[in-house]
């Protein structure tokens, strides 16, 4: 695994935000966190889960501001993120999120930011795209929401793929009927992550933290 700084990959940050801050170099109130909700832009409903995730980060003390990469150029994104300490990618549609990353040509920019010390927090879709490839998680979301997607290549921040919401009743049928059956191979390193767990990555090691 490449040398990276702090990376936190979650299924639902709502349940673990209160624990993450203990691994950071400063108090959350002294760290600027940009909440990128691009992946949720094509989701339906009241998005209460998204609101709860954001609320949990605020409650944990983070200095949260909102942003989307949709319709933004690499220059726009660089201008917004240069002085931010923590880059957060929310849950939602992984394909749509990756498409917008490709359209804005910001993949290498995000990678470099994390390599050079910024913190990455991913939630569900935001955790999946941190891996090398999202093809094996294709059964989670509607790929029709990303008609201009050029490839399944992720950000490559880690050398494994997170399968979020493991054990959740809402994802039970997807996992049992589709995802595990089609992912049973030696090509990909997979981490099954419950809503009460997150993966902490620091330099060349990682471990799963369970808050329950």
Residue-level pLDDT, tens digit, the chain, 212 residues: 444 458 999 999 999 999 998 899 899 999 999 999 999 999 999 999 999 999 999 999 999 999 999 999 999 999 999 999 999 999 999 999 999 999 999 999 999 999 999 999 999 999 999 999 998 777 777 788 899 999 999 999 999 999 888 766 666 666 666 555 555 555 678 899 999 999 999 888 999 999 98
**Residue 181 and residue 42: Cα distance in Å, rounded?**
27
Q: Where are the domains of the chain?
A: 7-210
Length of the chain: 212
Q: Quick one: which of 177, 75, 157, 73 has its CA closest to 116? A: 157
Topology of the domain covering 7-210 = Rossmann fold (3.40.50)
Q: What tokens does 72 get?
A: 């933004």
Helices 74-81 and 107-115 meet at what angle, rounded to 10? Answer: 30
Place of tokens 């989670």: 140
Query: Residue 75 has what pLDDT?
Result: 97
Query: Residue 181 has what pLDDT?
Result: 56
Q: Let me know: does 78 contact 109? Beta carbons within 8 Å.
A: yes
Angle at 210 (CA atoms; ends 206, 212), nearest 5 degrees: 175
- Label each residue of 112-149 as H, E or C: HHHHCCCEEEEECHHHHCCCCECHHHCCCCCHHHCCCC
Q: Quick one: which of 84, 7, 91, 15 has its CA closest to 55? A: 15
DSSP string, 140-196: SS-GGG-TT----B---SSSSEEE-STT-GGGHHHIIIIIHHHH-SSS--EEE--TT
Query: Residue 180 has what pLDDT?
Result: 55
Q: Quick one: which of 89, 21, 32 has its CA closest to 63? A: 32
Query: Residue 1 has what pLDDT?
Result: 40
Antiparallel, parallel or unpaired: β 32-36 and 63-67: parallel
Query: Residue 130 has what pLDDT?
Result: 97
Query: Residue 144 has what pLDDT?
Result: 85
Q: Let me know: does 5 contact 114? Beta carbons within 8 Å.
A: yes
**What b/e readout covers 116-153, taking b as 16+ CB neighbours within 10 angstroms?**
eebbbbbbbbbbbbbbbbbebbbebbebebbeebeebb
């Amino acid at each position: 695994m490449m040398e990276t700084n702090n990376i936190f990959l979650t299924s639902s940050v709502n349940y673990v935000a209160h624990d993450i801050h203990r691994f950071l170099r400063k108090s959350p109130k002294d760290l600027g966190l940009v909440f990128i909700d691009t992946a949720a832009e094509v989701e339906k409903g009241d998005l209460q889960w998204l609101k709860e995730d954001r609320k949990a980060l605020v409650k944990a003390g983070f200095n949260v501001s909102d942003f989307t990469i949709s319709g933004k150029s690499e220059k726009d994104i660089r201008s917004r993120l240069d002085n931010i300490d923590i880059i957060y990618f929310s849950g939602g549609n992984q394909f749509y999120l990756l498409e917008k990353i490709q359209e804005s040509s910001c993949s290498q920019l995000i990678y470099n930011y994390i390599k050079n010390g910024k913190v990455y927090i991913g939630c569900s879709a935001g955790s999946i795209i941190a891996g090398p490839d999202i093809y094996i998680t294709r059964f989670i979301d509607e790929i029709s929401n990303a008609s201009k997607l050029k490839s399944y290549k992720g950000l490559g921040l880690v050398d494994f793929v997170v399968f979020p919401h493991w054990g959740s009743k809402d994802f039970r049928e997807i996992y049992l009927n589709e995802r595990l059956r089609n992912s049973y191979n030696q090509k990909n390193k997979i981490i099954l992550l419950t809503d009460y767990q997150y993966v902490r990555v620091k330099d060349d090691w990682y471990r799963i933290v369970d808050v329950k």
